[in-house]
Amino acid sequence: MRKIPMLVATIWSLLLTQTHAQEKQLFHGTVLNEYNSPLAGATITVLKTNQHTATDHLGQFILSTLAKGTYDIRINAIGYKTIKQKISIDPAHPITLSFPMFRAEESLQTVEIYGRKEKSYRNTQSFIGSKTETKLRDLPQSVSYATKELIADQGLMRVGEIVKNFSGVNQFTFYDDITIRGFRINGGSNTQLVNGMRTTTGFWKQPLANYLERVEVLKGPSSALFGNASPGGVVNRVTKKPLDEARKSLQFSVGSFNNLRALADFTGPMTTDKTLLYRLNIGYENAQSFRDLQFDKNLVLAPSFSFIPSENTRINFDMVYNDSKSRLDRGQSVFANGDLYSTPISQSMSTANDFLNEQTYMVTASLNHRFNEKLSFNASYMKTGYAEDLSEHRSANAYAVDGKGNNIENMVARQVFIRNRKRFVDNITAFFNYNVNTGRLAHKLIAGYDYAQEVLPVGGSQLTASGYRNKDNTGSIAKFDPKNINNYLLDENGNPVPNVSSFDLSNPLISQQLQDESKYFFAPASTTSVDPTYYHLNALYVQDQLTLGPLQLLLGLRYENYKDIANYKTDQAENVHQDVILPRFGAVYTINPQINLYGTYVKGYNPQTASALANPNAGGPFDPLENDMTEFGLKTAWLDGKLQASTAIYQINQKNTLYPAPTADNADLMEQIGKERSKGIEFDIQGQILPHWSVIASYAYNDAKITEGGNNEELNRQKPNAPQNTANIWTRFSIPSGKAKGLGIGIGANYVDKRNLSIKQYQSVPSYSLLNAALYYTIGKVQLQANFNNITNKTHWVGGYDYIRLFPGAPRNFLFTLGYTF
């Protein structure tokens, strides 16, 4: 009898469940982009309810347990016009709807404030090329980029490593120092960009890249957009921005050379109405190196906040703080006979005394306001601060000499630097966007103002110990002159005694131990790297992007006034003014929805006054760099826009370039070459072949030579660290279903051609090819990853100045990563 009530209760429960299932159901939908392809990361909200979700990588979404009735839904996607639509839920007539979305005509600054939700190697839009949101295929200039997904898949943490994926870009040294189309650009030059704003990274050490959404390079002179810059191009680091959906991830990595790394990325809304968003990226690294005595301890904190009080106003604040403790690695030296393999690539000239402590911060505040559908306003301010505390033993850029002035084959002369300095950079940019039609012509007009300044304040100083000891051992003499040998202190073999002991390449252990610095004779050094310096620039610019049917034109003009104070903070202070007008012309012709042809002509410049030179003993004054570029290319989109391919043919001309011209009295002296020319061709492919198969590949041929000036030996020689041929490929495939679901593999290769090291010397490093691979496995919220680099253990050099300052690449190495997303 007791079983009857239980049976009745069970039947009643089943009936209630069935009734509930009849009243409520799942609603399936698909969101598509302008190419009718799935749009991942779109947010779907059921208004006046607490239901919301996002599309997956197939553009699909499900709204669960909606009762019968009519609902208003809103669909948002970054860079697309918002959709508001009514849907009807009727269990008797279940349906699946598709929602096509179209690009919003607004500045990318708005998009960057919201952040990027996509998860692929492909990026379709950019702000860097025109200061408006422009499809990359509609930009009349070449752009290479790497998204955070590619960076993570390759296990990379330095921009210098990331650029191997870009056509025409390679390392110059293993500092924050690269070559673009044969022209050098580095972190100390204040011509690199973060979110389109000028900044400095300190040159020596590269910060972690965990806070970056992507890295992009605008090829060719960009002075018409950003002021003085390298003719090869500019590097723009785009930081991660807050998302309006909660995402949290943790990563822990261990690897070769005692590498330990921990990363965290948290983002989401701080209020229920999503008017206040946040993001916090944290990075910690404690790693040794394949190079003797080298290490890196880094802490990166990158908080970001977005305030969106209305659909027309968005305010963003973000900061990146990097605390770095390390040693400064001045490279590998080989025997004076020039044998590249005479010393191991692990050998460095540092000692246990040496240290390099750096602190960098970048603080940015941005405002975007849209007055109406035609007019909007953007304004941003960035403050960069950099502090350096350095003590180092390094080469004196020469071999030690005997009593006759001849090089001692296995001994490298050394010097010691003790340096403290700070640098502050301020940037302001403000511009109006105005969209208007005049007849059949559509215009996207920009009018703006830029201000930038850099200051090295009072207090920067450097002590240097170098040269040879005088006869009385009471001081030092900068250079050894065998004609006046009696002025020097000599050892038992009749050789001059150095102020700082020379580095013995054949027996390095003693040279690398703690050194008694109290025995050195130090002298204060007055150089432009530590002396107070100041410059600022003011610029006005206008630009019009015109569209007439399949033809698009880009016309721009910039006026810039550059002011540098030579001998700043001294009685000899002198203002140096430079004015320049920079035009820019470009055209894009759409042959069909998949193919665009383009051509462009741009001019650029770069002042070379005292405070603009990184080399402290370069000399000068020097005339400003002047350059121009002509480029033609083809940009295509395939597989419903999932795969992008492009090619570019270009020629860049520049005059007044500085190159080393060392003398017996000044090893760092520079000379101004008359003219140089870089021309070449590039191919790039990025995107997806299949939903689970991603690829990026490139090839570049670059012919970069001095065409006028210098001596006959310098003419028509390939420029330093500018390989004629480079190529790369990286592809990842993930198994989407079956028993092996979640398993993925990545494989790639890089080729770099032979490179000259100096325009003055016939020294070079050989070409190399590297093979890299990775394994991935995802199970639920846990991701496992293993990266294997330089699998064949190829000895190679990523750059160098000469055979005393070579920069070897890492031998075979691995990195294991455990990630958790929640």
Mean pLDDT (whole number) for 88-108: 72
Beta bridge partners of 383: 363, 426
Other beta carbons within 10 Å of 51: 16
Confidence band of 336 (pLDDT split at 50, 70, 90): very high
Residue 818 has pLDDT above 90, yes or no: yes
- Mean pLDDT, the chain, integer: 88
Count H helices and E strands in the chain, helices first.
6, 48
Residue 274 CB-half CA count within 13 A: 14
Specify the 3-state DSSP secondary structure of 291. Answer: coil
pLDDT digits (tens, 9 = 90+) for 245-299: 889 999 999 999 999 999 999 999 999 988 999 999 999 999 999 999 999 999 9
Q: CA 98 to CA 17: how far, in whole Å?
A: 30
Q: For position 501, what pLDDT does the model report?
A: 96
What was the pLDDT predicted at 117?
55
What are the pLDDT digits (tens) for 618-646?
A: 666 677 888 999 999 999 998 888 899 99
pLDDT band at 16 (very low <50, low <70, confident <90, very high): very low
Percent of the chain clearing pLDDT 70 (strictly above): 90
Tokens of 715: 């003419």
The whole-angstrom separation of Cα 34 and Cα 102 is 5
pLDDT at 315: 94
Q: What is the pLDDT of residue 109?
A: 41
pLDDT at position 524 is: 92
Confidence of residue 25 (pLDDT cuts 50, 70, 90): low
pLDDT for residue 106: 45
CA distances from 223 to 219, 553, 584, 596 (A): 11, 19, 9, 25
pLDDT at 607: 79
- Looking at the DSSP assignment, which residues form a beta bridge with residue 649? 632, 681
By DSSP bridging, strand 755-756 and strand 764-765 are antiparallel
Residue 112 pLDDT greater than 60, yes or no = no
What the block records as the tokens of 665 is 């009295």
Cβ contact 617:647 at 8 Å: no
Q: How far apart are CA 179 and CA 242, in angstroms?
A: 32
For residue 24, what pLDDT band results from cuts at 50, 70 and 90? low
pLDDT surpassing 60 at residue 369? yes
> What confidence tens digit (pLDDT) does each residue in 567-618 have?
788 888 888 888 889 999 999 999 998 999 999 999 988 877 654 454 456 6
Query: Given the DSSP bridges, would you call strands 169-171 and 533-548 parallel, antiparallel or unpaired?
Result: unpaired
CB atoms under 10 Å from CB of 290, counted, come to: 16
Residue 258 near residue 296, CB atoms below 8 Å: no
State mean pLDDT over 228-237. 87
What confidence tier does 39 reach under pLDDT thresholds 50, 70, 90? Answer: confident
> Nearest CA to 627 among 676, 556, 560, 670?
676
HEC per residue, 140-186: CCCEEEEEHHHHHHCCCCCHHHHHHHCCCEEECCCCCEEEECCEEEE
Domain range summary for the chain, segments of one domain joined by +: 23-100, 108-235, 236-464+524-702+713-821
What would the two tokens of residue 59 be? 């553009």
Is pLDDT of 670 > 80? no
Task: Quote the CA–CA distance of 99 and 38 in Å, as a whole number.
Answer: 10
Residue 271 main-chain phi, psi, to 5 deg: -130, 155
Which letter does DSSP use for residue 207 in this model?
A: P
Residue 428's closest CA among 447, 448, 450?
Answer: 450
Q: Cα-atom radius of gyration of the chain, to the nearest Å?
A: 30
Spatial separation of the C-alpha atoms in residues 289 and 599, rounded to whole Å: 45
pLDDT band at 20 (very low <50, low <70, confident <90, very high): very low
Higher pLDDT, 395 or 124: 395
Amino acid at site 204: W
| 396 close to 451: Cβ distance less than 8 angstroms | no
pLDDT beyond 50 at 19? no
Higher pLDDT, 194 or 808: 808
Task: Give CATH for domain 23-100.
Answer: 2.60.40.10
8: tokens are 């009745």
| CA atoms of 654 and 591, how far apart (whole Å) | 33
Work out the average pLDDT over 8-21: 44
Is pLDDT at 108 greater than 50 in this prediction? no
Q: Is the peptide bond before 616 cis (omega within 30 degrees of 0)?
A: no
Asked if 111 contacts 134 with a C-beta cutoff of 8 angstroms, the reply is no
pLDDT at 22: 43
Using CA atoms, how far residue 437 sits from 162, 346, 375, 503, in Å, is 41, 63, 13, 70
Backbone CA torsion sign across 212, 214, 219, 222: negative
**Residue-wise pLDDT tens digits, 42-51:** 888 888 887 8
108-235 CATH fold: Ferric Hydroxamate Uptake Protein; Chain A, domain 1 (2.170.130)
What pLDDT score does 11 carry? 44
Cβ-based neighbours of 696, under 8 Å, separated by 6 or more: 121, 146, 150, 165, 685, 686, 728, 729, 730, 731
For 173, the 3-state DSSP assignment is coil
Topology adopted by domain 236-464+524-702+713-821:
Maltoporin; Chain A (2.40.170)
- DSSP assignment string, 237-273: EEEP---SS-EEEEEEEEETTTEEEEEEEEEEESSTT
Report the run of H or E that residue 110 belongs to, with start and end. Answer: helix 108-114
Q: pLDDT band at 677, cuts 50/70/90? A: very high
Please count the other Cβ atoms lying within 10 Å of the Cβ belonging to residue 88.
11
